[in-house]
């Protein structure tokens, strides 16, 4: 059996997130169905992240054991034949026996898009958070800097996570104006807690709109109190952008 690593990208709009569940179609299930059609094998794949419903991935890594005779580098062609248009296989390779997309990942980078304009944008409604009030980019970045470094992020997680520790190292957290009306937030860390990026972004929006003093962020993070941060920003603005192996 080979240990095959697969890189995909997907538009999460029409899925109930990554992970298999009984209530709705997920990306994982759709990938497993395509693998079954391409190789004849009914297997379970391991993903690098549990993305929520509506969250997208510009790059997502998964792995699975397979006895297929299709060479790894040809697998994306075979899978794309069976995959729907909102999921695309980009690259596959034979990974070492002990590689796991869940446990071998050394870090991830997410981006989050905020449409900051009074009117909605038809092309961004599924790919951004429409925030129609003024945002101060300088204040957002002053607040964002406080997230960088090693912190206990227990105040920036939704309940439901099952981690041993809530300490994470954020390698980068900053915002840029990537188009006249678009603010893109980048957050890179060794690992993330459940909803961590979306709560950080909701808190940055409070800092940018004047609701929260950017200089209060270090104390807010240290408090570990979820109630002091901003809302959980909606899922459709979030993209897994890069997975570090």
Three-class SS of 76-96 = HHHHHHHCCCCEEEEEEEEEC
Residue with tokens 């993305």: 51
Number of residues located near its own copies, criterion CB under 8 A: 21
Structure tokens at 5: 């690593």
- Confirm or reject binding of residue 180 to its own copies (CB under 8 A): no
Q: Is 110 annotated as a binding residue?
A: yes
Chain Cα centroid distance, residue 86: 16
CB of 168 to its own copies, least distance (A): 28
- Confirm or reject binding of residue 74 to its own copies (CB under 8 A): no
Site for its own copies in 44-73 (CB under 8 A): 56
Taking alpha carbons only, the member of 194, 195, 217 closest to residue 204 is 217
Active site residue 52: yes
Write phi, then psi, for 67 (nearest 5 degrees): -105, 15
Instruction: Locate all alpha helices (DSSP H) within 41-165, ordered by sequence.
Output: 75-82, 137-145
- Confirm or reject binding of residue 110 to its own copies (CB under 8 A): no
Give 61 or 221: the residue with its C-beta nearer to its own copies: 61
- Confirm or reject binding of residue 243 to its own copies (CB under 8 A): no
Q: Binder to its own copies among 19, 100, 121, 223 (CB under 8 A)?
A: 121
| Residues near its own copies, by CB under 8 A | 9-11, 56, 76-77, 80, 85-90, 118-123, 125, 127
């Amino acid at each position: 059996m080979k240990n095959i690593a697969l890189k995909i990208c997907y538009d999460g709009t029409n899925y109930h997130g990554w992970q298999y569940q009984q209530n709705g179609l997920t990306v994982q299930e759709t990938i497993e169905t395509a693998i079954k059609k391409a190789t004849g094998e009914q297997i379970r794949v391991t993903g690098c992240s549990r993305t929520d419903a509506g969250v997208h991935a510009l790059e997502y890594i998964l792995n699975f054991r397979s006895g297929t005779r299709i060479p790894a580098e040809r697998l994306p062609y075979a899978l794309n034949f069976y995959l729907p248009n909102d999921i695309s296989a980009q690259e596959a390779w034979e990974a070492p026996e002990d590689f796991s997309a869940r446990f071998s990942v050394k870090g991830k980078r997410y981006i989050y898009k905020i449409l900051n304009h009074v009117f909605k944008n038809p092309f961004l409604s599924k790919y951004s958070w429409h925030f129609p009030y003024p945002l101060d980019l300088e204040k957002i970045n002053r607040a964002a800097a406080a997230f960088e470094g090693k912190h206990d992020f227990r105040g920036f997680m939704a309940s439901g996570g099952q981690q041993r520790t809530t300490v994470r190292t954020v390698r980068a957290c900053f915002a840029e104006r990537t188009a006249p009306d678009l603010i893109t937030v980048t957050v890179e860390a060794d690992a993330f807690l459940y909803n961590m990026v979306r709560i950080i972004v909701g808190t940055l929006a409070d800092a940018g709109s004047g609701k929260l003093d950017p200089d209060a962020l270090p104390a807010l993070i240290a408090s570990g109190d979820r109630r002091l941060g901003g809302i959980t920003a909606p899922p459709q603005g979030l993209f897994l952008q890069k997975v570090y192996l």
